[in-house]
Amino acid sequence: MAISRRHALRASLLGGAGVALATAAPAPAWAEPGLPFAGGAHEALRLLKEGNRRWRRFASRHPNEGRNRRIEVAQGQNPFALILGCADSRVAPELVFDRGLGDLFTVRSAGEVLDSSVLGSIVYAVEHLAVPLVVVQGHSSCGAVSAAVEAHRTGELPHGHVGYLVEQILEVVESTPEDGDDFIEDCVRANAVHVADLLRRDEELRPFVEAGDLDIVAARYDLRGYGVDWL
């Protein structure tokens, strides 16, 4: 789907919201009122890297949290990236990337596990909000990945819903070589790369990737060093 068609689709969904946006508050530098982020995946990635650099240096600016921004986003949203991250309480994307209201469309599940709800949320952001960049972000000391490693070594899955999560990660664990210094961390990286690859091949997302309207990248956040490694 060409970007012009995506703009038209977005405008039809917003209805009259674009007019309200124009009078409520100045739009962000990267967006026209009522239209998606126009900077593309490269610019979106640059903004994320800049924000994480500030976070690492304890120099966060906490942008887009003031009165004008709150008024603006009440009329509609123009997120420039989607972060599929773990549900872990220590890895909030808006903090890790020093972004504010309306900047990031966030979807979180333990171990970045995909299901219909997660996929539907991602497709919505790509189709209707024209988000140009999806980041699959794992993190160090991930409990879901650690549980999958434990299941791999013991042959026993946890019961119930947690067992479902572990089972989805187990395939990655079983295909990851155990010849590194830290097997769990190797699995964390492999899992993020695997999920990103699944998204690129998804039948609803693949056309956007092939048209150059969407980039999907994998990353890992370090809980001790505060930095994001791009995989």
Q: Using alpha carbons, select from 48, 183, 198 the residue that is nearest to residue 113.
A: 198
- Is residue 142 a known part of a binding site? yes
Query: In the predicted model, is pLDDT for residue 219 greater than 60?
Result: yes
- Is residue 86 a known part of a binding site? yes
Mean pLDDT of 58-80: 95
Q: Which domain holds residue 34?
A: 3-230
pTM of the predicted protein model: 0.85
Is the four-CA dihedral 57, 48, 42, 218 of positive or negative sign?
A: positive
- Is residue 62 a known part of a binding site? no
Tokens at residue 203, please?
């039948």
Domains: count for the chain:
1
230 Cβ contact partners less than 8 Å away, ≥ 6 residues apart: 217, 218, 219
- In this structure, are residues 109 and 118 in contact, taking their beta carbons and an 8 Å threshold? yes
Report the residue count for the chain. 231
Tokens at residue 167, please?
């089972």
What HEC string does 134-148 produce? EEEEEECCCHHHHHH
pLDDT for residue 218: 98
Task: Give the pLDDT confidence of 147-198 residue by residue, as tens digits.
Answer: 999 999 999 999 999 999 999 999 999 999 998 889 999 999 999 999 999 9
Tokens at residue 214, please?
């969407």
Percentage of residues of the chain with pLDDT beyond 90: 82
CATH number at residue 172: 3.40.1050.10
**2-16, 31-45, 165-179, 181-195: lowest mean pLDDT where?**
2-16
